[in-house]
Amino acid sequence: MTRPILAKLGYAILMPEEFEQVAAGSKDLRPAVRIVDERQLGEVPDAPDSLPIVVLTGRHGVTGADSRIVGAVRRPAGMHELYRLIQQVMEETPRSTPRVPTHLPVSCIRDGREWRAKVLSLSENGCLVRSPEPMLLGNRFEMIFVLPREGELRIEGEAAYQLVPDVGVIFHALPTSQRNAISRYVVQTLALGPEPGVLENAS
């Protein structure tokens, strides 16, 4: 599922023959990075454009002998590992974890006060919240929400930034079990599509 999931995140991974078919209709189209099994490195043409190469390798990694190689992931390459590496290679401000749009009701609790809000997007590191109550930057609060297919999560969050009119929240001291639950939900959502009622344009 790695290829279709990464495609939904904006990274189309094509076999060489697939790319040739797509590129036939556009002379200006060129790949941003090559993903190559280390056993086939000798087959990669030494093109003048020197495209960066991500190598699929064994547990010992690769040497720096080939200047085109920018990174390596162990076979079989998982979605998260490839995503992180491609982000580092291609993006000026890389994200470490993928984010998916959601429309999850959440209870926010601070200083004995509780109010309802919505989680508009979610990743392992944090979320975007739309709240009818003011959320002061720097304030920490408890978040309680039910993650489809995973169950209830209780998370300590901090209002870190504004994406007007919404607030970006980062998670603090997230237990491994909850981080894994969010990771599974993100991957399943990318693979299967959003839950009914998800705001597709929330990011």
Looking at residue 126, which CATH number applies to its domain?
2.40.10.220
Q: Which of 196, 92, 108, 115 is nearest to 148 (CA)?
A: 196
| Whether the predicted pLDDT of 165 surpasses 50 | yes
- Rounded Cα distance between 24 and 21, Å, is 5
Strand order across the beta sheet in which 53-57 lies: 34-37, 53-57, 69-74
Residues 104 and 186 in one domain: yes
- Residue 196: which pLDDT band, with cuts at 50, 70 and 90? very low
| Whether the predicted pLDDT of 18 surpasses 70 | yes
| Whether the predicted pLDDT of 96 surpasses 60 | yes
- Rounded Cα distance between 149 and 194, Å, is 12
Instruction: Return the exposure string of 87-115: e unless at least 16 CB atoms fall within 10 Å of the residue's CB, then b.
Output: beeeeeeeeebbbbbbbbebebebeeeee
Residues 150 and 107 in one domain: yes
Provide the mean pLDDT of the chain: 86
pLDDT of residue 61: 78
Residues 67 and 18 in one domain: yes
Residues 8 and 51 in one domain: yes
pLDDT of residue 113: 95
Q: For residues 128-152, give the mean pLDDT.
A: 93
pLDDT of residue 107: 98
The answer to whether residue 95 sits within a structural domain is no
- Residue 133: which pLDDT band, with cuts at 50, 70 and 90? very high
Q: For residues 40-67, give the mean pLDDT.
A: 80
Which of 90, 123, 152 marks a domain boundary? 90
Residues 67 and 125 in one domain: no
Residues of the domain holding 28: 2-90
Residues 31 and 83 in one domain: yes
The answer to whether residue 179 sits within a structural domain is yes
Q: For residues 140-165, give the mean pLDDT.
A: 93
Q: For residues 173-201, give the mean pLDDT.
A: 77
